Structure 1
Amino acid sequence: MQIAKKITLLFAILSAVIISLLSGFVWYFSNEFAFEDFYKRLEARVNIAAQIKLYEDDNNSIYAKMRNQYLERLPSEREFIIDPKKTTSQVDRELPKSFYKKISSGAMARYRVDNHFYAGKYFKTSKGGYIVIISANDPFGFRELKDLQKILIIGFFLSIILSFVVGWKFSDYMLIPLRNIIKSVKKIKAENLHMRLDVKKGSDEMSQLAQTFNNMLNRLETAFETQNNFISNASHELRTPLTVISGEVELAMKPGQDLAQQQQALAKIKNEAERLEHILTSLLGLAQSGFNGKNQPWEEVRMDELLWEIKDSVNQVYPNSIIQIDFSKLPEEESLLTLKVNKNLVKLAISNVVSNACKYSNEKLVSIGIESNGQTLSIAVTDRGIGIPQTDIQHIFEPFYRASNTNAYKGYGVGLPLSLNIVRLHRGSIAIKSQEGVGTEIKIILPLFSM
């Protein structure tokens, strides 16, 4: 069953239960209080009848005249003056003992049989005690209850139908964002993983669902790009050192080679084997960064403290480099500096950027700045090195791609792509600004809060 039908059915059932309870409540209290006015009219007649029939008073004739003129006679109205000493029934029907018990306590008693009502009270006179009972029919009250019953039954079924229609429209309206998400997700395939869902402003479940899909697509896109890059580049990058090693082995195995030539061939084989090892290590690191990064635990990390660790580790590789950390824009609140990240991966990503800055700056100043705007935390690494030609900037994050002016520097073109993959896994981004011969600035932007 579709969610819309389930919501509609549940809405209709809940509405039926609520309307049933409300109708029962209305019916109960209407039934209890519908005849209250009629009982009061009977009780007034009981008092007047007692005054006229039981008490000798000069005003009795006036009471009788007023009763006849101003009190209309009720349908089937009868009055009974009962002497309690007589054992024979003096009423048109046998009334319950509870009725007489209430009368004997001095209170006004009430009783109803279908549409026939009784009201009675005990009066003490000089001649003795008497019970005055007035009975009458109330066709109007009963008719009103019957009409109310019909109205409640008809209203119940009409309300159920209306609640079903409203529930269907309501569920259809509420599920529009979900249908849009489904429609958008169906359009996304392996060849267009760059597409993202439209996330509406707010923190409702639909926005969270769309954001969750986008986060998943970020990871999938990274994984697919990593896989494609690995496949497309591995064969090319691995073939070159293997070809060299194979050629040198054949050369060393030729008869008549002297020891010096063999030593030279073995040295070349060793160098190419080391190069092959570096390439394999880089490829594996690049491939592993395409996963969700949760093979290692995520933890709360203060990024300013992490920058000191990165500075120390890079200085061990480039001891002559000058690395300066700029804390002038550091926020005072610790929460604006703390991120929940995979510390090892983030440290690797930033270290790659700082290492490149040191390597290509020829021992000139490398500045690391950290800044937070309340939503994101950015780390800017600026060098005064050789810079990147404008034609190469768009390819700089492609695996194994190296700028045209880096031939004099040893490298494999994996550091920045690896950093980009890691930053993407943390829902961040990397911006680059460079000018050849002037220097390069790479800014890593990470969200402060998990989405």
Structure 2
Amino acid sequence: MKFQTKITLLFFAISAAGLILLNAAIFYFVSQFSFKDFFDRLEARVNLTAQTNLFTDRNTDAYKEVRARYLEKLEDEKNYVVKIDSNEDNFPHPLKLPQSFYKSILDNGSAKYNESNHFYFGKTFEAKGARYMVIVAASDPYGFKELTQLKKILIVCFLISIVLSYIAGIVLSHYTMKPIQDITISVKQIKANNLHSRLPEVKGNDVVSSLISTFNTMLTRLETAFETQNNFISNASHELRTPLTIMTSEAELLLSGRKLDPVSEASVKTILAEAEKLHHILTSLLGLAQSGFDGKKQNWQQIRVDELVMNVADAVKKIDADCTIDIDFSTLPEEESQLYTAGNNNLLLLALSNIVMNGCKYSKKQPVKVQAKTENGFIVIVVTDNGIGIPEKDQQHVFEPFFRASNTSEFEGFGIGLPLTLNIIRLHKGSIGISSQEDKGTEIQVYLPISVG
């Protein structure tokens, strides 16, 4: 579940709980007020009933007139006057009500009770040398109708309110998460070739400004680390090339100059071969440095894929004349604009040459097929060989520097070619796919974006 959705649901749950409590409180207090008002009216009738029935020495006619003129008769209104004997536990109960109601009247002098829409109020009086209990019972259909109407109104308002609260939660979560989403979009745009970019600073001391500051600090550290690494590799490669060139030249001079005894000649040839290996390693390391972070695109140009493949085949042939390369352009589109990708020609030439040379080497000079096609906005270059293949357990590691598959011990190599190729393809916003079966061969797909314009 998305964090924004969680915020929306949390806000919705809190709002719904608050609305439930608010509506329950409104209904409770209104109903209590309504009940209290009705009980007050019943108490007034209890007093008038006592005056007109128990106190005959007073102006009972006046009380009757007041009651008839100013107090309307309530729904189902009934009056009960009961004389309480000395034995308070044994007196007639005019209504089938809980015993606690009668006991409360006797103990407290008055009591009230309601059951559904029926209300009862009782009170004791001293008159004519005896104790009496006066009870008035009535129904309040209008009050209950009002409460029922209030309940409907509260339910409708609650439903409307929770819908509005859900919408408000969506709006709140959107504006709450918008700064984070903006940061996410900005961070996604920062890649290895533009680590010099920074997120725009935001004033304040809130979480967003702190997060931006943390990201910018991290990017600074990454940029420094990349530059340090690449500078080291580049400088080391250049510095080592000079003495290596001298060693190679001196060895070639010894072999071409005067005659050497067989032992010395063999030693010089060994020195020359190892120097050439070291030169290849240094060239690859320098390629790794060039294909890593440099902060900008260098020598970027429009590259035609068929010409690139032909140049790759020529470059491999110059290095290994025995390599057989079958080129297939039959699936390329006829539209010329679909044949171009943007990039550095030398780097792409190096990357694809590494793949083709590996195919030739590990297939023991069997033909290597190179096919070019387009697919979903990408130029796809497929290199297929019938060589030794890559063991399944090693396939996830073939792009790690200096890693070599477990079945390549009889072949020379340094484990730099494929990592270098991957770096170059990633620099060109492409990707590499690999499919291989041991003892059957390997297929490598290189995806490069078609250049628009």
TM-score relative to the length of structure 1: 0.52
TM-superposed CA distance for 1:113, in Å, is 2.0
Q: Aligned equivalents of 2:178 and 2:3: distance in 1?
A: 12
Corresponding residue for 1:83? 83
Aligned pair partner of 1:180 in 152, 164, 182: 182
- The 5 Å alignment of 1:106-255 reads 106-240=108-242
Q: Is the 8 A contact 2:84 2:91 kept in 1?
A: no
Q: Is the 8 A contact 1:43 1:108 kept in 2?
A: no
Give, as a single letter, the amino acid of the residue that structure 2 aligns with 1:81. V
TM-superposed CA distance for 1:120, in Å, is 1.1
Give, as a single letter, the amino acid of the residue that structure 1 aligns with 2:187. V
Corresponding residue for 2:45? 45
Corresponding residue for 2:436? none
- Residue 77 of structure 1 aligns to a residue whose secondary structure is strand
Count of residue correspondences? 259
Corresponding residue for 2:6? 6
**TM-align CA RMSD:** 3.2
TM-superposed CA distance for 1:118, in Å, is 1.0
TM-superposed CA distance for 1:99, in Å, is 1.3
Corresponding residue for 2:319? none
- Residue 34 of structure 1 aligns to a residue whose secondary structure is helix
- The 5 Å alignment of 1:17-36 reads 17-36=17-36
TM-superposed CA distance for 1:82, in Å, is 1.1
Give, as a single letter, the amino acid of the residue that structure 2 aligns with 1:162. L
Q: Aligned equivalents of 1:128 and 1:211: distance in 2?
A: 89
Q: Is the 8 A contact 1:51 1:60 kept in 2?
A: yes
- The 5 Å alignment of 1:51-70 reads 51-70=51-70
TM-superposed CA distance for 1:27, in Å, is 2.9
Residue by residue over 1:226-257, the C-alpha shift from the partner in whole angstroms, topping out at 9 and shown as x without a partner, is 12212222122233356668889999xx99xx
1:239–1:153 CA distance, 2 compared to 1 (3 A) = same
Percent of residue pairs identical: 50
Q: Aligned equivalents of 1:179 and 1:65: distance in 2?
A: 79
TM-superposed CA distance for 1:167, in Å, is 0.5
Residue by residue over 1:8-66, the C-alpha shift from the partner in whole angstroms, topping out at 9 and shown as x without a partner, is 12221222222222223333333333210110011011111111210123422222222
Q: Aligned equivalents of 1:99 and 1:224: distance in 2?
A: 88
Q: Is the 8 A contact 1:80 1:90 kept in 2?
A: no
Give, as a single letter, the amino acid of the residue that structure 1 aligns with 2:221. R
- Residue 24 of structure 2 aligns to a residue whose secondary structure is helix
Corresponding residue for 1:74? 74
Q: Aligned equivalents of 1:101 and 1:187: distance in 2?
A: 82
TM-superposed CA distance for 1:196, in Å, is 0.4
- Residue 74 of structure 2 aligns to a residue whose secondary structure is coil
Residue by residue over 1:290-326, the C-alpha shift from the partner in whole angstroms, topping out at 9 and shown as x without a partner, is xxxxxxxxxxxxxxxxxxxxxxxxxxxxxxxxxxxxx
Structure 1 segments of 4+ aligned residues over 4 angstroms from their partners: 86-90, 241-251
Structure 2 stretches of 5 or more lacking a match? 259-288, 290-453
Q: Is the 8 A contact 2:84 2:131 kept in 1?
A: yes
- Residue 76 of structure 2 aligns to a residue whose secondary structure is coil
Q: Aligned equivalents of 2:26 and 2:223: distance in 1?
A: 62
Q: Aligned equivalents of 1:190 and 1:26: distance in 2?
A: 61
1:58–1:121 CA distance, 2 compared to 1 (3 A) = closer
Give, as a single letter, the amino acid of the residue that structure 1 aligns with 2:72. E
Q: Aligned equivalents of 2:227 and 2:130: distance in 1?
A: 110
Q: Is the 8 A contact 2:110 2:123 kept in 1?
A: yes
Q: Is the 8 A contact 1:188 1:195 kept in 2?
A: yes
Q: Aligned equivalents of 1:71 and 1:14: distance in 2?
A: 47
Give, as a single letter, the amino acid of the residue that structure 2 aligns with 1:2. K
Q: Is the 8 A contact 1:8 1:171 kept in 2?
A: yes
- Residue 132 of structure 2 aligns to a residue whose secondary structure is strand
Give, as a single letter, the amino acid of the residue that structure 2 aligns with 1:224. F
Structure 1 stretches of 5 or more lacking a match? 256-286, 288-451
- The 5 Å alignment of 1:329-344 reads none
